[in-house]
């Protein structure tokens, strides 16, 4: 692949999700990785996206109120009887 | 809608609310086609009336169900009702569940239908019925002014104001600091509804892409576009937060 088809940073940042999802075409995947090798800053950008994903994953999950949960378990016992 | 929620509203209302009674005479015929062993065991336990198994199932899915329901209806209290009603439908329908999809997928389809019906009754536009506003003509992942313009021959489109590495990768300190969690939680809460639910299911709940597509009836491509917009926005918000901290 010639360098004239290389990605700019502006194009690169729009491909990060598709890259992480494994959804890039083979050619784009190659251009993406070439850009990572050529650019000092874009790897930092990818790292920030990955940090964002990890931080989201560390958030507390929601839960039903104990009352709603109790009503449901009661309904189940009635159903199972 | 904040993801972290210290207190819970409308307790009394929910406590006094009764779910429709389920008669025991409803058919409990269990057939399955190609279920995972785990799903088989769960179904078997439910059939035996094992309430611990039911409680486990409820606890496992409640978080995602509440997030999903919240994107359809007006309030947290209504979202809880939607989740309750969906579970009742699950119990009613479990005898007819044929295992053509995983138990989880089936449960979330019921939830989505329950939420849609409720949203229509509330006179709300059902999200995901019109994807265009969140998919088309979207904003760029990064502000255009952060890249060099056409006057920089050979470097146009490269970073003018590159991202700076965030504090060291020690998740215990910087990343999980309370302020950071609050910031990311608020950033997610401020996302447009479809982006919010996709990011929440993928990144907060840890669902795989095909599960999200199935539950929300999204194409893989649209799911990725929504996820991309959402993650880009949350990153920008965190960046402003981190840079603000450093400037202080």
Q: How many Cβ contacts (< 8 angstroms) between chains A and B?
A: 179
d(CA B220, CA B19): 36
Residue B239 has pLDDT above 90, yes or no: yes
Write a three-state SS string for chain B. CCCCCCCCCCHHHHHHCCCCCCCCCCCCCCCCCCCCHHHHHHHHHHHCCCHHHHHHHHHHHHHHHHHHHHCCCCCHHHHHHHHHHHHHHHHHHHHHCCCCCCHHHHHHHHHHHHHHHHHHHCCCCCCCCCCHHHHCCCCCCCCHHHECCCCCCCCCCCECCCCCCCCCCCHHHHHCCHHHHHHHHHHHHCCCHHHHHHHHHHHHCCCCHHHHHHHHCCCHHHHHHHHHHHHHHHHHHHHHHHHHHHHC
pLDDT of res. B205:
92
* Residue B77, min C-alpha distance to chain A (Å): 10
pLDDT greater at residue B13 or residue B141: B141
Higher pLDDT, A42 or B245: A42
B-proximal residues of A, 5-44, CB under 8 Å: 8-11, 13-14, 16-18, 21, 23, 39-42, 44
What's the pTM?
0.79
CA distance linking residue B244 with residue B228, whole number of Å: 24
Kindly list the residues from chain B whose CB atom is less than 8 angstroms away from the CB atom of residue A71.
14-15, 17-19, 84
CB atoms within 10 A of CB A62: 24
pLDDT at position A66, please?
A: 93
Query: Residue B68, exposed/middle/buried by CB under 10 A (0-12, 13-18, 19+)?
Result: buried
- What pLDDT is recorded for position B137? 65
| Highest mean pLDDT of the ranges A1-10, B39-48, B83-92 | B83-92
Contacts 24+ apart (CB under 8 A), A17-26: A17/A49, A17/B224, A17/B227, A17/B228, A17/B231, A17/B232, A18/B224, A18/B228, A19/A46, A20/A49, A20/A50, A21/B209, A21/B224, A21/B227, A23/B220, A23/B224
> Which stretch, A59-63, B74-78, B83-87, B104-108, has highest mean pLDDT?
B83-87
Nearest residue on chain A to B138, alpha-carbon basis: A14
**Which of A14, A16, A52, A70 best probes binding to B when mutated, by most B CB atoms within 10 angstroms?**
A52
Instruction: Specify the DSSP class assigned to residue A54.
Output: H
Q: pLDDT tens digit string along A24-75?
A: 999 999 999 999 999 999 999 999 999 999 989 988 778 899 999 999 999 9
- Note the pLDDT tens digit of each residue in B171-226: 555 556 788 888 998 999 899 888 999 999 999 999 999 999 988 889 999 999 99
Chain B nearest CA to A11, separation (Å): 8
Distance CA B57, CA B50 (A): 11
Per the CB < 8 Å rule, is B224 touching A80? Answer: no
Beta carbons of B190 and B179 less than 8 angstroms apart: no
pLDDT of amino acid B71? 81
Q: Find chain A residues with C-beta within 8 A of B15's C-beta.
A: 65, 67, 71
Residue pLDDT, tens place only, B16-73: 455 555 544 444 444 445 688 899 999 999 989 999 999 999 999 999 999 889 888 8
Q: What pLDDT is stored for residue B123 in this prediction?
A: 81
Which helix (H) or strand (E) segment holds residue A17: the answer is: helix A16-20
Per residue in B91-148, pLDDT tens?
999 888 888 888 998 999 999 999 989 988 888 766 666 667 677 667 899 999 999 9
Q: Which residues of B touch A58 (CB under 8 A)?
A: 171, 175-176, 181
Question: In this predicted structure, what is the pLDDT of residue B30?
Answer: 45
Nearest CA in chain B to A41: B162
pLDDT at B100: 83
């Amino acid at each position: 692949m010639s360098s004239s088809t290389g990605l700019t940073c502006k194009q690169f940042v729009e491909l990060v999700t598709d890259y992480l999802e494994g959804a890039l075409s083979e050619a784009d995947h190659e251009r993406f990785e070439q850009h990572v090798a050529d650019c000092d800053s874009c790897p930092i950008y990818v790292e920030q996206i990955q940090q964002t994903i990890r931080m989201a994953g560390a958030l507390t999950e929601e839960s039903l109120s104990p009352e709603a949960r109790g009503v449901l378990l009661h309904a189940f016992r009635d159903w199972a009887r | 809608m904040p993801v972290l929620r210290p207190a819970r509203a409308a307790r009394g209302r929910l406590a006094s609310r009764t779910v429709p009674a389920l008669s025991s005479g409803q058919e409990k015929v269990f057939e399955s086609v190609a279920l995972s062993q785990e799903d088989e065991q769960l179904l078997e336990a439910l059939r035996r009336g094992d309430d611990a198994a039911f409680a486990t199932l409820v606890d496992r899915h409640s978080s995602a169900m509440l997030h999903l329901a919240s994107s359809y209806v007006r309030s947290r209290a209504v979202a809880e009702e939607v989740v309750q009603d969906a579970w009742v439908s699950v119990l009613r329908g479990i005898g007819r569940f044929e295992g053509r999809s995983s138990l989880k997928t089936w449960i979330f389809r019921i939830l989505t239908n329950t939420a849609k019906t409720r949203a229509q009754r509330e006179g709300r536009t059902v999200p995901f019925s019109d994807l265009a506003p969140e998919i088309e003509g979207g904003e760029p992942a990064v502000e255009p002014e952060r890249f060099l313009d056409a006057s920089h021959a050979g470097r146009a489109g490269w970073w003018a104001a590159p991202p700076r590495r965030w504090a060291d990768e020690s998740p215990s300190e910087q990343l999980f600091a309370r302020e950071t969690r609050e910031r990311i939680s608020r950033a997610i809460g401020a996302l447009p509804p479809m982006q919010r639910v996709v990011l929440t299911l993928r990144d907060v709940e840890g669902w795989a892409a095909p599960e999200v597509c199935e539950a929300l009836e999204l194409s893989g491509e649209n799911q990725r576009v929504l996820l991309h917009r959402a993650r880009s926005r949350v990153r920008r918000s965190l960046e402003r937060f981190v840079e603000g901290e450093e400037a202080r």
